[in-house]
A and B are shown apart, each in its own frame.
Chain A
Amino acid sequence: MTVDTDPVRRAVETLSRLVPTPPPPRDLRVGEAGPKMTRLKVALAAAVLIIAAAGAWLVSNRLVAPETASSPLFVVEHLRVRGKTVEPRVMEVPGADALVLMAPRSTAMGTEPDRAVQAPAALMISSVIAPAGRP
């Protein structure tokens, strides 16, 4: 079947004549051949390295759950405020050698705990749970 599509071709030719040929860039870079498997292996190795680096960073920055009662270094005991035992909040201060225990603010207001935790965490407790606005 003969189809007269010359008007379409003529229109395309007319338009394309008006378009300058794009020149190649001065530093035309031709990608070199590389085995696909090698590229995949490199990508995989890079991903493993990134994940390992992220894990190492997390460990070094101690972004893990603080060790609590099961730790052999710190034995968390109860806090007693106004003669009552309260549930302490256990905090970890990066770089410190002790866990910090804080009594709930409502119960700690104006009161010193009569029992804290073993040293050296106890050294930090008095300053941490001191009520705001009081010495």
Chain B
Amino acid sequence: MANCASTDAPPLTSRQGDHLPDETGVERLVRAVREGVPGAAEDLWAGQARRLIRAAIALGVPIEEAEDVVQESLLSAFRNFGRFDGSRAPFEVWTHRILVSRTSNWHRARRRLGLALSRLAGEGRPRSVTRPDEALEAEEAKRTLDRLTAGLTPVRRRVWVITQLSGLPIREAAEALGLLEETVRSHLRHARLALERAVKEKS
């Protein structure tokens, strides 16, 4: 997790010398990418990808689409890397903001195309899953996730995912979602209650 103390520091490109003590691994990589260190962009990509996949799945993207959604998000983040201002928010906030936007677009497109097309595309049976036990496990996990998160509004689901699953602090989550910190706190409180109810009902 990015250290909040570093957000008030000048842009990383202006820093000289060795790593600063409050610099996180992600910030070091961001600085290395800016300085054109070979392989730094790939390392930064790999570090963000796993985290974003979890977030995308928790935001309701099916697993056979999650890889594409995350890849598009990261491509967009790297193409617009020059616009990323590390002094305002950490890189994770930047990538999560893009992911949330892409995920919303995905849901919108899915609603337009309709469920029938999604079924034709093979939703619920990922291409990467070939073993029957894995397929069963995936279907069960998806059913559980759908059932437990059914009571969450989209914005509460986003808040819960970004703060509880991706672990961004409230301030950074508010920045990523374009909400006020108080609003994020309120949504998070309601999301927790809804999830707690759902888990109790399930058990």
Give the B-binding residues of A (Cβ under 8 A). Answer: 1, 3-5, 7-16, 18-22, 24-25, 28-34
**Interface core residue of A11, A13, A20 (most chain B CB under 10 Å):** A11
Name which residue of chain A comes closest to B129, CB basis. Answer: A18
How far is A20 from B49 in the complex, measured between Cα atoms in Å?
10
Pairwise interchain contact A21-B53, C-beta atoms closer than 8 A? yes
Name which residue of chain A comes closest to B72, CB basis. Answer: A22
How far is A3 from B126 in the complex, measured between Cα atoms in Å?
31
Pairwise interchain contact A31-B79, C-beta atoms closer than 8 A? yes
Q: Beyond A5-B195, A7-B199, is A13–B54 a contact (Cβ under 8 Å)?
A: yes
Give the A-binding residues of B (Cβ under 8 A). Answer: 13, 33-34, 41-42, 45-46, 49-50, 53-54, 57-58, 63, 66-68, 70-71, 74-75, 78-83, 126, 128-129, 134, 137-138, 141-142, 144-145, 148-149, 164-165, 192-193, 195-196, 199, 202
20 A-B contact pairs sorted by A residue (CB < 8 Å): A3-B192, A3-B199, A4-B199, A5-B199, A8-B148, A10-B141, A11-B142, A11-B145, A12-B141, A14-B137, A18-B126, A18-B128, A18-B129, A21-B67, A22-B49, A22-B70, A24-B41, A31-B78, A31-B80, A31-B83
State the main secondary structure of chain B at its contact with A: helix
How far is A119 from B156 in the complex, measured between Cα atoms in Å?
81
Q: Beyond A9-B165, A11-B142, A30-B33, is A16–B78 a contact (Cβ under 8 Å)?
A: no
State the main secondary structure of chain A at its contact with B: loop
Which residues of chain A come closer than 8 Å to B128, judged between CB atoms?
18-20
Pairwise interchain contact B145-A30, C-beta atoms closer than 8 A? no
How far is A18 from B164 in the complex, measured between Cα atoms in Å?
21
Which residues of chain B come closer than 8 Å to A29, judged between CB atoms?
78-79
Which residues of chain A come closer than 8 Å to B199, judged between CB atoms?
3-5, 7-8
Q: A8-B195, A15-B57, A31-B81 are in contact. List 4 more A-B contacts (CB 8 A).
A: A3-B196, A12-B58, A28-B42, A30-B81
